[in-house]
C-alpha cells in the first residue's frame, strides 16, 4: 500500500460524513486546511512530539498511544481555557503495519470524538516511530488563561490526582506490584490521560494563571512562576494539603507517593492560581464536574526561592526534584 | 544545557523585539500560542515532516536544512494563495549539538525573515533526528486556490525550472559531475528552494486550481486531477512546451533532464490551471515577478487516462514514472 492510500485508508476522518462545523472550511486533502476566522475569537495552537523509546516504549499498545498523543495536546488547549477544533497528525513509521495503524487510529479517533476535535491534515513519512500532533482550539478574545497571570496572594490549585501516571509507570516497569489496589487506575492514568477541557473552559475569568502538569507538579509550578512579572513570587506548598491519601490508599509507599505527586510527569492535570475570594466558586465547580480540586498552597512575595514546601510538622523545606527534562540522558 | 535552556537559547525568535504583528496575540512560552481572528479571513494551516535518512542525509548542512524545512511548508501556503503568519517547530535531535543548532537556527530564521513568518511555538525532544514544521497563513475568505478547481479547457502552467532539485541530487550522489555548468544552480534549488509565495498570492481569482510540486510534476498533476469533480478530466502535456532547454543547457543529458522535470520531486514550484483567457495576464505576472511561467498543456474531458504526454513528433504516450512515494522502500 503506498503512502497516499495509507493515509486515506487509516486516517479517513470518521467524522467526515457529519455536518461540517462552522469553523472548518476545508479539511484533509489539499495543500493545507482552511479555518474560518471570526472577530472576537482567538485561535489557540500547540504541538507536541512523542518519540518511541523516549516518550513511549517500543511495543506500547498503539490504541493507547493514539489516544494519548492527542490527549496531551488537547491538555495544552485545556490549560489555556480553549475549546478544541481541529488537529494535524505528522506520523513517522518504520513500516506501514496495518494492525498497528488500525489500533492507533482507533485510539486517536476515540479521543478526538470524545473531545470534539477534528482531523484536518497531516503528513505520513517513513522513519523511526514518532508522531507530532498540532492541535487547534478557540477561546473568546482576551479570555485565554496565561502562565503569566500569577498574582501575590493567589491560592495554588491542582486538579485530579497527580502522581498516578508516575505510579503507573512504576507498575509497568515492575517496581510496584500490579496487584496493588490502585494499580489499574494508575495504569489508566498513564495510558489514557483525560485532558481537563471542561475544567479549563470553566476557569476562564476565574483562574489568574494556569498550565497543565506534564513534567511534574513542582517543575511546572516553577515554569508558572518564571513567567510572572516582577516582583519575584514564591509558591508555598502545604504538604498536608496535597492529595496524597488516595495514592497511599491505592498501595503506594508514602515516600514514593510523595515523589510521584510532586515530581512525576505525564498526569496532564491542571495547575492554576486564583484569588482566595474565588474559593467557593472553585469548590462548587469541582463538584459540578465531579473532579477533585485541591487547594495546595499560596503565592507570596518574598526573597525566598521560587518554591517552598511546608511540611505537615511546620518545617519549611526546599524541594529537590523539579521535573523531567527530555534532554537529560 | 537542559531542554528549556536549549529552546530559549537557539529558538529565541530574532524578530521578538520587533513590533508584534496584528495577528499575533501570544507567541512562544505558554501552553499554546494565540492568534487573533478577524472576520473575512481564513487561517491556512499545513505541516510537513523531514526525517534524517529519508528526506535529508545524515551530515546535511544544518543551515540548508533549517531553510528547507520551513520553505517546504511555506510552499504549501503559497499553493493556497496564502500569506504566511507564524510557524511551530517540533525538533527531535539525538543530542544538543551547539554547532548544529546554531547553523540550523540561522537557516531557519533566514527563511522566516525573508518570507515574513514568525516562530510562535514548538517542542524539542530527544530521539532520531527529524523535524515537523506546522506553518500558518491567511487568505481572504473564499479566495484560497484549491486543488479541486480544475476545469475542462483550462491551460496547465508550471512555475520556474522544475527538475533542478532532482539534478542537484544526482550531482550530490556523484551521478552527474559537479563541474557541469548547471550544477551550482541545481544544488541551490535542492538545498534552498524558494517558496513561490508572491506568485501564489497574485494568482488568487486567476488560477482555478493549484498545488506545489513536491513529489514530481506528473505525480502531483495526477493528485490535482484526482481532486476534480466528475466528469473525469485528462491533462494533455505537450513535451515541446516543457522548460527542458535550460536543464540541457546546464549540461544535463536530455533523457535525464526529462525524467528530472517530469518525475523529480523537491522543486516546490507551483503547478496550476487557468482559463485560456487569462494567458496574457499570467505572462505579464511572470514578467513582473521575474519568474518563468510555462504553459505546458491543457485539460480535456475524455475517456483517456489522467495524463497523456504529447511528444514533439505528435505521438501520444502515457507516462510511467509518476512520483515519489515516501513509503516505498
Residue from B275, B296, B133, B308 nearest B213 by CA:
B296
Contacts of A147 in chain B (CB under 8 A): 29-31
Pick B31's closest partner by Cβ from A1, A80, A329.
A80
Inter-chain touch B26–A146, beta carbons under 8 Å = yes
Please say if the pLDDT value at position A310 is more than 80: yes
Q: A317 has which bridge partners?
A: A309
Looking at chain B, which residue has its C-alpha nearest residue A138? B34
Inter-chain touch A139–B34, beta carbons under 8 Å = yes
Cα B131 versus chain centre, distance: 16
Residue listed under C-alpha cell 523531514? B50
B206: how many CB neighbours lie within 10 A of its CB? 16
Pick A45's closest partner by Cβ from B44, B96, B121.
B121
Q: Is A55 annotated as a binding residue?
A: yes
Contacts of A48 in chain B (CB under 8 A): 90, 123
DSSP-derived secondary structure letter, A114: H
Contacts of B25 in chain A (CB under 8 A): 42, 141, 144
CA distances from B71 to A123, B216, B259 (A): 16, 17, 24
Question: What is the structure's pLDDT at B55?
Answer: 87
Pick A121's closest partner by Cβ from B46, B223, B227.
B46
Grid coordinates standing for A327?
A: 534532554
Report how far residue A175's alpha carbon sits from residue A214's, in angstroms, rounded to the nearest whole number.
21
Task: Please report which residue ranges of chain B form alpha helices under DSSP H.
Answer: 3-10, 62-78, 98-115, 164-172, 183-191, 197-202, 217-226, 245-249, 254-263, 279-289
Average of per-residue pLDDT across A94-122? 93
Looking at chain B, which residue has its C-alpha nearest residue A30? B147
Question: What is the structure's pLDDT at A119?
Answer: 94
Cα A182 versus chain centre, distance: 21
Looking at chain A, which residue has its C-alpha nearest residue B6? A327
Looking at chain B, which residue has its C-alpha nearest residue A76? B31
Average of per-residue pLDDT across A292-305? 89
Residue from B31, B24, B27, B32 nearest B138 by CA:
B24
| Segments in chain B below pLDDT 70 | 1-8, 13, 229-231, 320-329
SS3 of B136-199: EEEEECCCCCCHHHCCCCCEEEEECCCCHHHHHHHHHCCCCCCCCCCHHHHHHHHHCCCCCHHH
Cβ burial, residue A112 (10 Å; 0-12/13-18/19+): buried
Domain B3-140: homologous superfamily in CATH: PurM-like, N-terminal domain (3.30.1330.10)
Grid coordinates standing for B216?
A: 514530481
Between β-strands B155-159 and B293-300, what pairing exists: parallel, antiparallel or unpaired? antiparallel
Report how far residue A13's alpha carbon sits from residue A24's, in angstroms, rounded to the nearest whole number.
14
Residue from B15, B10, B26, B25 nearest B118 by CA:
B15
Residue listed under C-alpha cell 503506498? A2
Distance from CA of A137 to the nearest CA of B (A): 9
Q: Is A122 annotated as a binding residue?
A: yes
Residue listed under C-alpha cell 482550539? A137
DSSP-derived secondary structure letter, B232: P
Q: What's the pLDDT tens digit per position in A52-91?
A: 998 888 888 999 999 999 999 999 999 999 999 999 999 9
Contacts of B148 in chain A (CB under 8 A): 30
Residue A266 near residue A214, CB atoms below 8 Å? yes
Pick B37's closest partner by Cβ from A25, A43, A326.
A43
Residue from A161, A173, A258 nearest A213 by CA:
A161
Q: Is B268 annotated as a binding residue?
A: no
Please say if the pLDDT value at position A1 is more than 60: no
A16 versus A204: which is more confidently predicted? A204
Grid coordinates standing for B6?
A: 536549549
Phi (first) and psi of residue A193, to 5 degrees: -60, 145
* ipTM, two decimals: 0.89
Pick B6's closest partner by Cβ from A2, A90, A327.
A327
Report how far residue A312's alpha carbon sits from residue A245's, in angstroms, rounded to the nearest whole number.
13
Please say if the pLDDT value at position A329 is more than 50: no
Report how far residue B45's alpha carbon sits from residue B68's, in angstroms, rounded to the nearest whole number.
18
Grid coordinates standing for B221?
A: 498533476
Q: What residue ranges in chain A does DSSP mark as E strands?
A: 24-26, 33-36, 41-51, 83-93, 118-126, 130-140, 155-159, 207-213, 234-238, 269-274, 293-300, 307-310, 316-317
Please say if the pLDDT value at position A7 is more than 90: no
Grid coordinates standing for A84?
A: 478544541
Inter-chain touch A327–B90, beta carbons under 8 Å = no
The domains of chain B are located at: 3-140, 147-317
Question: What is the structure's pLDDT at B1?
Answer: 46
Contacts of B50 in chain A (CB under 8 A): 125
Domain A147-317: homologous superfamily in CATH: PurM-like C-terminal domain (3.90.650.10)
Q: Give the residue from B30, B40, B95, B207 with the most A CB atoms within 10 Å of its CB, the best one to mutate.
A: B30
Q: Would you list the DSSP string of A156-180? A: EEEES-TTHHHHHHHHHTTSS-TTS
DSSP-derived secondary structure letter, B52: B
Grid coordinates standing for B222?
A: 495526477
Report how far residue A132's alpha carbon sits from residue A290's, in angstroms, rounded to the nearest whole number.
31
Please say if the pLDDT value at position A265 is more than 50: yes
Please say if the pLDDT value at position A304 is more than 90: no
Inter-chain touch A36–B42, beta carbons under 8 Å = yes
Q: Give the residue from A3, A11, A30 with the most B CB atoms within 10 Å of its CB, the best one to mutate.
A: A30
Contacts of B147 in chain A (CB under 8 A): 29-31
Weakest-pLDDT range from A10-14, A115-119, B80-84 = A10-14
Amino acid at each position: 500500500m503506498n503512502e497516499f492510500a495509507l493515509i486515506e485508508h487509516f486516517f479517513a476522518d470518521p467524522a467526515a460524513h457529519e455536518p461540517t462545523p462552522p469553523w472548518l472550511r476545508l479539511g484533509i486533502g489539499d495543500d493545507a486546511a482552511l479555518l474560518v476566522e471570526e472577530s472576537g475569537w482567538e485561535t489557540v495552537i500547540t504541538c507536541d512530539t512523542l518519540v518511541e523509546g523516549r516518550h513511549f516504549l517500543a511495543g506500547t499498545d498503539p490504541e493507547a498511544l493514539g489516544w494519548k498523543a492527542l490527549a496531551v495536546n488537547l491538555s495544552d488547549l485545556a490549560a489555556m481555557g480553549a475549546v478544541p477544533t481541529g488537529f494535524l497528525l505528522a506520523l513517522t513509521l518504520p513500516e506501514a503495519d496495518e494492525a498497528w495503524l488500525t489500533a492507533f487510529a482507533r485510539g486517536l479517533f476515540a479521543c478526538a470524538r470524545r473531545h470534539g476535535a477534528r482531523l484536518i491534515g497531516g503528513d505520513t513519512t517513513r522513519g523511526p516511530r514518532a508522531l507530532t500532533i498540532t492541535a487547534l482550539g478557540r477561546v473568546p478574545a482576551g479570555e485565554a488563561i496565561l502562565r503569566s497571570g500569577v498574582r501575590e496572594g493567589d491560592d495554588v490549585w491542582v486538579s485530579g490526582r497527580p502522581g498516578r501516571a508516575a505510579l503507573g509507570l512504576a507498575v509497568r516497569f515492575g517496581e510496584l506490584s500490579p496487584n496493588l489496589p490502585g494499580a489499574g487506575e494508575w495504569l489508566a492514568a498513564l495510558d489514557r490521560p483525560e485532558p481537563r477541557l471542561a475544567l479549563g473552559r470553566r476557569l476562564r475569568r476565574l483562574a489568574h494563571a494556569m498550565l497543565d502538569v506534564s513534567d511534574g507538579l513542582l517543575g511546572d509550578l516553577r515554569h508558572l512562576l518564571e513567567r510572572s512579572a516582577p516582583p519575584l513570587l514564591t509558591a508555598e506548598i502545604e504538604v498536608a494539603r496535597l492529595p496524597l491519601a488516595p495514592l497511599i490508599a491505592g498501595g503506594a509507599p508514602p515516600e514514593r507517593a510523595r515523589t510521584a505527586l510532586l515530581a512525576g510527569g505525564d498526569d496532564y492535570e491542571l495547575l492554576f492560581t486564583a484569588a482566595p475570594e474565588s474559593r467557593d466558586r472553585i469548590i462548587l465547580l469541582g463538584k459540578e464536574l465531579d473532579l477533585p480540586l485541591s487547594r495546595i498552597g499560596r503565592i507570596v512575595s518574598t526573597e525566598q526561592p521560587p518554591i517552598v514546601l511546608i511540611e505537615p510538622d511546620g518545617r519549611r523545606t526546599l524541594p529537590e526534584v523539579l521535573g523531567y527534562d527530555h534532554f537529560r540522558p
